[in-house]
A and B are shown apart, each in its own frame.
Chain A
Amino acid sequence: MSHTAEVTTAKKRKGLMRKLNVWTGIVFGVVVAVAAHYLAKRYIPMGADETGTVLMDRVVITTMFGWTIGFMAGVGAFVGPYRWMMNRDLDHDDQMWLAGKDAGMARYFRFTTDHKVVGIQYLVITMVLFAVGGTMAMMIRTQLMRADSTFLNNTWYNTLVGMHGIIMIIATIIMVSGPFGNFVLPIMIGARDMAFPRLNALSFWLIFAAVPVLLSAPFLGGISTGWTAYAPLSTQAPAGMDAYIVTIIIFAVSSAVAGANITTTAVTMRARGMTWNRTPIFVFGTVASVGVAIPAFPMFMASQIFSGLDRTQGAAFYDAANGGSGWLYANLFWLMGHPEVYVILLPALAALLELTPVFSRSPLFSFNSAVGGIAGITGLSMLVWAHHMYASGWAPDLNGPFMLTTELISIPTGMLFLVFIGTIWRGRVWGRLPMLAVYAMLFNFLIGGLTGIYMSDVPVDYALHGSMYITAHFHYTLMGGALTGMIGATAYWFPKMTGRMLNEKIGIPAFVIMQVGFNVTFMGMFLVGLQGQQRRVAHYDKLFENGNFISTMGAYTIGFGALMLLYTVITSWRRGEVASDNPWGAKTLEWMVPTPVPLENFEVPPVVTSDPYGFGGPDAYDLEYEEDRRPSDDLETERV
């Protein structure tokens, strides 16, 4: 197509679609929200026996859905289906425009379908969510520095505990499969984009739309329930709870869309010659993660729809007085809640498995064990949810079976550990930041995993359930394991994603400070947990003061390290040393394309002839062994 022809087409086609971006989305979202608010107030009927709070819940939920739908329309999410219905399906130019061809920075602020843009968008929103959730954690720890602190009142404390929880859960769920699953995974398998580019953009902008909804909760009376939002406490909670409900519903849609997209991409779009044996392990981890999410999150969504109906329509799903049961909520919640920790963990571990061979210059030790471990965890993760409910009284007779399934998970998890240490064994370890993350993860996740075995035991769980010990345990897995993995993945793929090297002169000290602070914080929590401090309390017994003080000091250390790391990321991104195409000498496909990665990744579709782990030379052990075999063999003979 000649240059002039391109210009004329662009002029001819210059429609409304090309004017939409995040700002039009916000404006349209606010307008629709305000309209929905007034319409709801005016037209939603209220029964004679209903209270004002029910009406408020109805109005708030309607307003929030108004915002979401308005925002999504305003940002251009519905252009494709609309044009298709109007029988004016998007043509090639429109597709190219949507993919952000030649659009520069502007493409990051609109509904862009290029998977690399979506990956960067996810990375930024993840960091923003971590910053918000982390600030909340600092406030919580400040309150808990002293036994009778008055830094926060109980309403704010409970709200912050809940908000910190749900923000961090959302952030950790998207932190690896969002940025790297979108940016890196398609290139890694030799694809030109995701299977469904528009769904890809949709999944990101839904999360963007959910953020203001969630952040409105403190201004609507707060969330008094913690992130678990157990019923019937949630039925009693103020309108802030509606923000939680709407957020989860939006998020469930987003994760379903993203899950279908990533799975389809990995299954159908791998390059020629990339058999499953040659597919990088990161692809397995990410697909397993979103594969677990696909059945898990609808449970969460259902639980919140029921919760919303209880609050606004007088339904009684969770109301024991009218035939419902709080245990229904607990079951639905943990049917999501336990698979979800593996949704978080698997891609992070897989990312570290991907970079361990590169940084120890050895092949992945036992690829089959790695895949088997991931598959085993994936399968078992669906069958363990009620270990969160040993002490709930729901089904004491099922505690035995759930103890069995929970303890079985230690076997596939152990296989992943074997792969890590087997790869490092007699490797040539390159001590850069990504590799340090592997070491930190092995240390933290081992502690998190082993303490998990304690509480899989039913009588021990009776003693520890609901205590700070649990808080320490899951932070060791989700933060010490998964978040550390995400930091490693960021450091590893930073050159490819941003075109610049991450400055490790500040990055490594920052990372080490964070890790030290992390261990101090949560060792302190193990301590007070064993002493008997319960979770989610704003005030506590004098007995726990020392442990809590230690935790708070550790938390400030994490905060300091995290700020340093954030500073490093931002400065390196803006003016770091320019990266070559393959600074680590890795062998996966994403390092074979130029940096910055061109719009459709590959000019010629690649053909894969081996797996990407062909590192290492002849085994030094065997050489040495050959050499000094003879004398000792002689010795052997003599003895005989």
Chain B
Amino acid sequence: MSPVSVSTRIRHFTKRTYVRHVFLLWIFFTIMVGLFAPLQSKLMGPAASTQMEVVQETMTLFTYMAAPVAGLIFAVVTYSLLAWRSKGFVAPQYEGTNSRGNGPTTVAWILVSSLLCVVLLIWGLAEMADGQTARGDERARIINVTGNQWVWNFDYIENGNVRSQELYLPVNEPVLFHVTSVDVNHSFWIVQMGVKVDANAGAVTDMRVTPTLIGDFDIRCAELCGLNHSAMFTKVHVVSQGDYLAWILKNGGHQ
């Protein structure tokens, strides 16, 4: 074959009927996969903290990035089943192509996947860097959390000797939890706030959250902790700053 310029080759390639069909299927599947982005945000419910906002943003971005990749693979396999299948149960009469690879395709594939990977990484590190600055946030209210088969205890150490088994938090104020356990491992998960850390015996772990919605949310233990793991469930009540103070005072604490 005489040498032909790359652009001509590409133009010829895109003129093939099957290439056009695959391309249309690619667009179709990309849109289909992309539709999962709003769906998953809807299933996760309204974000009740700044952390959950980041989580939902990330999942949306990742879904949009994944959509063309998944779409391409779905398109090729669907098209091959529809158009390149030899009908019937007997062995195909004709052979496929004898192409053993295609350098430019392979290189492009690896480059694109590496690029996507770099984007994921930079995005993730940027999110985590935000978390790092929050770590130095001195204003955060410290609350001690203790897991105990099968209840959670909350100590509001900045407000005197107050302990509760349902969590109360003031809205729009950063909170730092010091989490530990007196027996086996538990995992402290505030579902709608998208944060979680294990409660380990003999160690204290940190978790930060800034609630942004007033309301009642769920706390579930996310680490199998024995017989009644499924019953290790409580509520978090996010209230206005004034209501929070009133609750603290009512329970014998101070400002």
Contacts and interface: CB of A to CB of B under 8 A. Distances in A.
Interface of A: 154-155, 158, 161, 224-226, 228, 230, 232-233, 236, 320-321, 325-327, 360-369, 391-393, 396, 399-400, 403-404, 407-408, 410-411, 414-415, 417-418, 421-422, 424-432, 439, 442-443, 446-447, 450, 453-454, 456-460, 462-463, 465-467, 504, 527, 530-532, 534-541, 584-585, 613-622, 624-626, 629, 632-633, 636
Contacts of B51: 459, 462-463
Contact of B100 (A364, A418, A636): A364
Contact of A414 (B105, B113, B201): B113
B12 A632 contact: yes
A540 B95 contact: no
A363 B100 contact: yes
B227 interface: yes
8 contacts: A158-B227, A224-B226, A230-B224, A368-B101, A392-B200, A418-B105, A431-B86, A458-B124
A319 B85 CA distance: 60
A-B pairs, 7 with minimum CB distance = A320-B202, A393-B205, A466-B222, A616-B98, A427-B96, A537-B230, A362-B96
Interface string B51-85: 11011001100100010011011101100110011
Interface string B86-99: 10010110111111
A616 B96 contact: yes
B228 interface: yes
A613 B114 CA distance: 29
Contacts, number: 300
Given A393-B197, A442-B77, 15 more contacts: A360-B84, A392-B205, A414-B69, A418-B106, A421-B73, A422-B101, A424-B76, A427-B97, A465-B187, A466-B222, A531-B43, A534-B221, A536-B224, A538-B230, A541-B218
Contact of A431 (B16, B81, B202): B81
Contacts of B117: 407-408, 410-411
A154 B227 contact: yes
A232 B76 contact: no
Given A454-B62, A459-B58, A629-B12, A430 B229 contact: no
Given A400-B125, A428-B84, A429-B86, A363 B43 contact: no
Contacts of A439: 77, 81
Give the interface size class of chain B.
35 or more
Contacts of B247: none
Contacts of A424: 76-77, 80, 84
B67 to A, nearest CB: 9
Which applies to chain A's interface (DSSP): helix, strand, loop or mixed? helix
B140 interface: no
B198 A393 contact: yes
A363 B77 contact: no
B31 interface: no
Contacts of A450: 66, 69-70
A582 B184 CA distance: 57
Contacts of A320: 200-203
A362 B120 contact: no
A499 B178 CA distance: 64
A632 B218 CA distance: 66
B40 interface: yes
B214 interface: no
Of the listed residues A399, A537, A619, A621, the one surrounded by the most CB atoms of chain B closer than 10 A to its CB is A537
A534 B206 CA distance: 21
A369 B110 CA distance: 10
A411 B228 contact: no
